[in-house]
Amino acid sequence: MKLDPALLRGEFKENHLLANYTTWKVGGEARYFYQPADLQDLTAFLINLPRNKDIVWLGGGSNVLIRDGGIKDPVICLRNKLGVLKQEENATIYVQGGVSIARLVQYGVQLGLPEIAFLAGIPGTIGGALAMNAGAYGDEIWNHVISVETINRNGEIKTKTKADFSISYREVSGLNQEWFISARLIFPQVDKEQAKLKVREFLNKRCQSQPLSELSCGSVFKNPPNDYAARLIEACNLKGHKIGGARVSEKHANFIINDGTAKAVEIESLITLIKNEVQGKFGTLLENEVRILGEAK
Ligand SMILES: Cc1cc2nc3c(=O)[nH]c(=O)nc-3n(C[C@H](O)[C@H](O)[C@H](O)COP(=O)(O)OP(=O)(O)OC[C@H]3O[C@@H](n4cnc5c(N)ncnc54)[C@H](O)[C@@H]3O)c2cc1C
C-alpha cells in the first residue's frame, strides 16, 4: 500500500505492535497503523486509501482480542485523537469519537449531570462505546444519543439518529462502511451533588465486583436472556481455570485475566473452552461480547 506521507499530518506506521493499544495487552502487529491528527486529516487518509482495503477501527481497545498474527488491513485508531468535548445549547454535549469515556464522565460531573454516572469506570472511547452500545447498571449510551456523525470510505460525513441503526444489548447494526466520529448526547437532569455521589457509588460497585487492577477486556460474553454468563461459568467450576497465561478471574467469572504472559491464542482457547463447558452443562451457547480481530499466528 502506497500513501503519500506529505498528505497526512497524523501518525502513520507500518508493522506496528498493537498489544499496547488494548487493555488485554495482547495481539500482533498492524501492517498499517494510523492515528489522525484531526478530522480533516482523517478525511484525507480515507480518500487516499486504496479501495480494495478493508479498514479496522480501534478506540481504546478495551473490548477487542487482537490475534497474535496481527491485522493485515489498515487499522485506524482514534485513541487520544479527535478529542473535542463541549457543552452545547439545550443540555447537550458534543463529543468526538476519540474522547475517553472517563473524560466524558469527569466533564459530566463538572456540569452536574447525575445520569452520566452509569458510564463511570467503563474504559475506552466514545467511538467504541457507540459501536458497542456500552452500558451498565440499567442504562446504555444510546439512550442518551440525540445524533451521531459518521464518516465513510469517501471521507463523507453524515449526521444520523438512533432511527438509522438497529440498537440492542452491546450491539449496533446499520453501519455500512462508515464509522462514528462524534455524538451529541443529552443528560437533562442537573444536580451537582447527585452527580458526584452517583459516580462514586458506581465506581465503588465496580471495584467490589470486578478485577480492575488486572489485564482484561471486561465481560467476555454477553449475558444470555434472563441469566448471567458469570453465573453459568462459575457453576461449571471454571473460576481460576488457566490456559497458559490466561485464566478465568476468581473475582468475576465473566472476566478473563492476562497474567502478563498470555498470548492471544491462549485467551481465545480459554474462550472456546468456556463456551463448550457451559453449552455441555446448560445447553446455553454463550455469545461473545468481545470482538475478535486479525489473524492467528
Ligand atoms: C475493566 C473493564 C470493564 C468494562 N466494563 C464495561 C461495562 O460495564 N459496560 C460495557 O458496555 N463495556 C464494558 N467494558 C468493555 C469496553 O470498555 C466497552 O465496550 C467500550 O465501549 C469499548 O470502547 P473502546 O473504545 O475500547 O472500543 P474498542 O475495544 O477499541 O472497539 C470495540 C469495537 O468497536 C469498534 N469501534 C471502535 N471505534 C469505533 C468507531 N469510532 N466507529 C465504529 N466502530 C468502532 C471496533 O472496531 C470494535 O469492533 C469493560 C472493559 C474493561 C476492560
Catalytic residue at 100?
no
C-alpha 282 to ligand 1 mean position (Å) = 28
Q: Which among 176, 151, 182, 177 is positioned nearest to 164, based on CA atoms?
A: 176
Q: What amino acid is encoded at 214 in this protein?
A: E
Task: Pick the residue whose CA is nearest to atom 38 on ligand 1.
Answer: 128
Mind listing the pLDDT tens digit for each residue in 136-153?
999 999 999 999 999 999
Q: How would you write 73-120 as a 3-class SS string?
A: CCEEECCCCCCCEEECCCCEEEEECCCEHHHHHHHHHHHCCHHHHHHC
Above pLDDT 70, what percent of the chain? 98
Find where cell 495481539 sits: 27
Active site residue 289: yes
Beta carbons within 10 angstroms of residue 206's beta carbon? 17
Residue 219 bears catalytic tag: yes
Among positive and negative, which fits the CA dihedral 224, 230, 235, 236?
positive
Dihedral sign, Cα of residue 216, residue 220, residue 226, residue 232: negative
Which element (helix H / strand E) includes 270? Answer: helix 264-282
Lowest mean pLDDT of 74-83, 89-98, 218-227, 263-272, name the range: 89-98
Task: Tell me: pLDDT of 297 over 70.
Answer: yes
Pocket test for ligand 1, best of 57, 119, 173, 217 (most atoms within 8 A of CB): 57
Q: Which cell numbers hold the place of 282?
A: 446448560
Task: Indicate if ligand 1 lies below 6 Å from the C-beta of 58.
Answer: yes
pLDDT of residue 2: 67
Beta bridge partners of 178: 152
Pocket test for ligand 1, best of 122, 170, 179, 228 (most atoms within 8 A of CB): 122
pLDDT at 219 > cutoff 90: yes
* pTM, rounded to two decimals: 0.97
pLDDT of residue 5: 67
The more confidently predicted of residues 6 and 173 is 173
What confidence tens digit (pLDDT) does each residue in 260-282 have? 999 999 999 999 999 999 999 99
Q: Which of 63, 25, 18, 23 is nearest to 261 (CA)?
A: 25
Strands 246-248 and 64-66, sheet pairing = unpaired
Residue located nearest, by CA, to atom 51 of ligand 1: 218
pLDDT at 53: 85
Q: Output the average pLDDT for the chain.
A: 96
User: From the candidates 182, 216, 219, 249, which is the catalytic residue?
Assistant: 219
